[in-house]
Amino acid sequence: MTLTRFAAHPEQTRGRKVVEQESPTRNVFQRDRDRIIHSTAFRRLEYKTQVFVNHEGDLFRTRLTHSIEVAQLTRGIARTLGLHEDLAEAIALAHDLGHTPFGHAGQDALNECMRDFGGFEHNLQSLRVVDLLENRYASFDGLNLTFEVREGILKHCSQKNAKQLGDVGERFLRKESPSLEAQVTNFADEIAYNNHDVDDGLRSGLITMQQLSDIQLFAENMAEVKHLYGEIEEKRLIHETVRRMINVLVVDLCEQSQQAITKLNPATIDQVRKAPYLVGFSQAIADKNLELKQFLRTHLYQHYKVNRMSAKARRIIEELFSAFMQSPKLMPDEHQLAAKQDQARAVADYIAGMTDRYAIREHKRLFSVEENW
Ligand code: MG
């Protein structure tokens, strides 16, 4: 598939904050993707929770495997629609860089701690990581990524924050859309987590096939597998069902989005930006997807065993936050230095950057006398 007129074209990028000599072998979006993969924040994703805390089992998704699955789906959809695969992949790999340890429980706890200091939002934090917090390049802070990747990372944003964010904030003030590559990544994220959470949920035993047989998207695809293969091992039945669910969602998304794009027939990426979201599911699939999502919320994300882990996570984050707010001198040097500018934000940045196991260890080091520094 060739690149369409309305895709992002690397030679027409709105550019980087700091002008650089570009690579002779890689386009700007490839280069951004490579910088993301080489970042410290990317490596930390391996030890951050998706739903299950990292030490609960080796087979569950982590933020890293989730991000790779999102990138894989995003590339496939981008290729089908004639969009720029490298841009789509870069956005997908960076979309969760700002996540705290312990998944949503961690983010909610940190947001609560930051209530009087401007709050905490993982999506905004992902942008902060690539714009500011990675600090390994000699001539700039952050990764100095192109506008298009940064635009794609910032999925949502309040009007107040948008005013402070400059170029990437403007579209929220003008109520415009991001590139199609960014729109695709949002949906790929959702397709990835709904389906891998079904898989992980079943593996953990927190949800059952019995419960899922009431959910239309699951039931229809499981019926097809049973029809084709008869009685098969449960492990194969689950995988065959989940891969069909992903396929149904991806095919519908591609068809619906293609129709919307053909109808508008945008000549450039800027016409895409001025139009409402063009990427989306058909109503029938959107309804089935929502049913699955609501099922997961009730039966998996709010399962009492997940709630217990979330409660512990919340306590760890709250106690780390108050200890560092009372005494920033307990933080490693570089974070103490940042705290001189804005203490609460420096503490939030330090905590948000922690992996699950680092946060657990740091908590022990601060609160247990048996533990060394
Ligand atoms: Mg995600």
pLDDT at 120: 96
CA 95–ligand 1 middle distance (angstroms): 6
Each residue's pLDDT tens digit, 300-321 = 999 998 899 899 999 999 999 9
Is the predicted pLDDT of residue 204 greater than 80, yes or no?
A: yes
Rounded Cα–Cα distance for residues 129 and 142 (Å): 7
pLDDT at 55: 65
CA 37–ligand 1 middle distance (angstroms): 16
CA 24–ligand 1 middle distance (angstroms): 32
Helices 85-94 and 28-37: crossing angle in degrees, nearest 10, is: 30
pLDDT at 60: 81
Task: Give the predicted TM-score (pTM) of the model.
Answer: 0.96
For the four alpha carbons of 111, 112, 115 and 117, in that order, the dihedral sign comes to negative
Each residue's pLDDT tens digit, 267-293 = 999 999 999 999 999 999 999 999 999
Using pLDDT thresholds of 50, 70 and 90, give the confidence band for residue 50.
confident
Rounded Cα–Cα distance for residues 321 and 228 (Å): 54
pLDDT at 22: 92
Each residue's pLDDT tens digit, 159-170 = 989 999 999 999
Each residue's pLDDT tens digit, 54-101 = 666 777 889 999 999 999 999 999 999 999 999 999 999 999 999 999
Is the predicted pLDDT of residue 19 greater than 90, yes or no?
A: yes
In whole numbers, what is the pLDDT of the chain averaged over residues? 95
Is the predicted pLDDT of residue 198 greater than 80, yes or no?
A: yes
Q: Three-state SS for 191?
A: helix
Give residues whose Cβ lies within 5 Å of ion ligand 1: 96, 189
Rounded Cα–Cα distance for residues 82 and 87 (Å): 12
CA 50–ligand 1 middle distance (angstroms): 8
Query: Can you list the domains of the chain with their CATH numbers?
Result: 26-306 (1.10.3210.10)
CA 96–ligand 1 middle distance (angstroms): 5
CA 286–ligand 1 middle distance (angstroms): 18
Is the predicted pLDDT of residue 44 greater than 80, yes or no?
A: yes
For the four alpha carbons of 123, 192, 69 and 233, in that order, the dihedral sign comes to positive
CA 195–ligand 1 middle distance (angstroms): 12
Is the predicted pLDDT of residue 349 greater than 80, yes or no?
A: yes
Rounded Cα–Cα distance for residues 146 and 150 (Å): 6
CA dihedral 331, 337, 342, 344 (to 10 degrees): -10
Each residue's pLDDT tens digit, 97-156 = 999 999 989 999 999 999 999 999 999 999 999 999 999 999 999 999 999 999 999 998
Strands (E), 185-253: none
CA 189–ligand 1 middle distance (angstroms): 5
CB atoms within 10 A of CB 347: 25
CA 125–ligand 1 middle distance (angstroms): 13
DSSP 46: G
CA 262–ligand 1 middle distance (angstroms): 28
CA 275–ligand 1 middle distance (angstroms): 25
CA 193–ligand 1 middle distance (angstroms): 7
CA 343–ligand 1 middle distance (angstroms): 28
Is the predicted pLDDT of residue 243 greater than 90, yes or no?
A: yes
CA 330–ligand 1 middle distance (angstroms): 32
Q: Cα-atom radius of gyration of the chain, to the nearest Å?
A: 22
pLDDT at 53: 66
Each residue's pLDDT tens digit, 141-152 = 999 999 999 999
pLDDT at 51: 74
Is the predicted pLDDT of residue 38 greater than 90, yes or no?
A: yes
CA 66–ligand 1 middle distance (angstroms): 7
